[in-house]
C-alpha cells in the first residue's frame, strides 16, 4: 500500500509551511503529482530512507463560514480515507479553537494513526503551553516549529515507523 501522510488542520496553523519543509528537496521528481486537485497538494518526501507522499490540505475557497467549515470537514474525511497517517496540526500561539475541537471529534473516530502536531513552538518557552492539546484525547503531542524545523525529526521518526 502507498505510504501517504496527510496534514490537516484549520487555516493558518502552518500546514503548508510544514509541507514545504518536508518536501522541498524532492520537488523536481514530483511534477506528476501537481495539479491533481485544486484543494490539495501531493508531493514526495523521504526520511531515513523511507519514501512517502505528503498531502497538504487547505487552499480552501473562502465563502461563508458554513461553506468554509464544511470544506475543512470534507478535507478531514478525505484525508482519513486516503492517508495512512494523519498529522493534525494546531497552533500553540492561539491554543484550541472551536474548529480544532470539531476536527478532533472527527479524527477520534478513525482507527488510522493520528499525530497531534503543535506548531509554532519556536522556542522552549512555548513547550509547556502545548500541553493543553492533550485535551483532544488523541495521544502524544509533538511540538514542532515548521519555520525552524525544530521537532520535525522526532515527528518523522514516529510517522515512518508505520512504513
Residue 16 contacts Mg ion per CB under 5 A: yes
Other Cβ atoms less than 10 A from the Cβ of 163: the count is: 16
Binding residue for Mg ion (CB under 5 A) from 9, 14, 58, 151?
58
Cα separation of 112 and 25, whole Å?
A: 27
63 is in an annotated binding site: no
39 is in an annotated binding site: no
Q: Which range touches Mg ion (CB under 5 A), out of 2-10, 33-41, 52-60, 121-129? A: 52-60
33 is in an annotated binding site: no
Query: Cell numbers 519556536 label which residue?
Result: 122
Cβ at position 117, least distance to ligand GDP in Å: 10
Report the partner that residue 120 touches, choosing among ligand GDP, Mg ion, none (CB closer than 5 to 8 A by kind).
Answer: ligand GDP
Cβ at position 157, least distance to Mg ion in Å: 24
Q: Which range touches Mg ion (CB under 5 A), out of 7-15, 20-28, 31-39, 125-133? A: 7-15
Cβ at position 137, least distance to Mg ion in Å: 26
- Please spell the DSSP secondary structure of 36-98, one letter per residue: S-SSEEEEEEEETTEEEEEEEE------SHHHHHHHHHHHHHHHHHH-SEEEEEEETTT---H
Cα separation of 51 and 4, whole Å?
A: 9
133 is in an annotated binding site: no
Q: Which range touches Mg ion (CB under 5 A), out of 53-61, 64-72, 83-91, 128-136? A: 53-61
| 162 Cα distance to chain centroid | 16
Cα separation of 140 and 54, whole Å?
A: 21
143 is in an annotated binding site: no
Binding residues for GTP: 9-16, 56-60, 119-122
Amino acid at each position: 500500500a502507498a505510504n501517504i501522510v496527510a496534514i490537516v488542520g484549520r487555516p493558518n496553523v502552518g500546514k503548508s509551511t510544514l509541507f514545504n519543509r518536508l518536501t522541498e528537496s524532492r520537488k523536481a521528481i514530483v511534477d506528476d503529482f501537481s495539479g491533481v486537485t485544486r484543494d490539495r497538494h501531493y508531493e514526495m518526501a523521504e526520511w531515513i530512507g523511507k519514501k512517502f507522499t505528503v498531502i497538504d490540505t487547505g487552499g480552501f475557497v473562502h465563502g461563508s463560514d458554513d461553506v468554509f467549515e464544511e470544506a475543512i470537514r470534507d478535507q478531514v474525511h478525505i484525508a482519513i480515507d486516503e492517508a495512512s497517517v494523519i498529522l493534525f496540526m494546531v497552533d500553540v500561539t492561539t491554543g484550541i479553537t472551536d474548529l480544532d475541537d470539531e476536527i478532533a471529534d472527527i479524527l477520534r473516530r478513525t482507527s488510522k494513526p493520528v499525530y497531534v502536531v503543535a506548531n509554532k513552538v519556536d522556542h522552549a518557552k512555548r513547550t509547556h503551553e502545548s500541553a493543553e492539546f492533550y485535551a483532544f484525547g488523541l495521544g502524544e503531542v509533538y511540538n514542532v516549529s515548521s519555520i525552524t524545523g525544530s521537532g520535525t525529526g522526532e515527528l518523522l521518526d514516529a510517522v515512518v515507523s508505520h512504513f
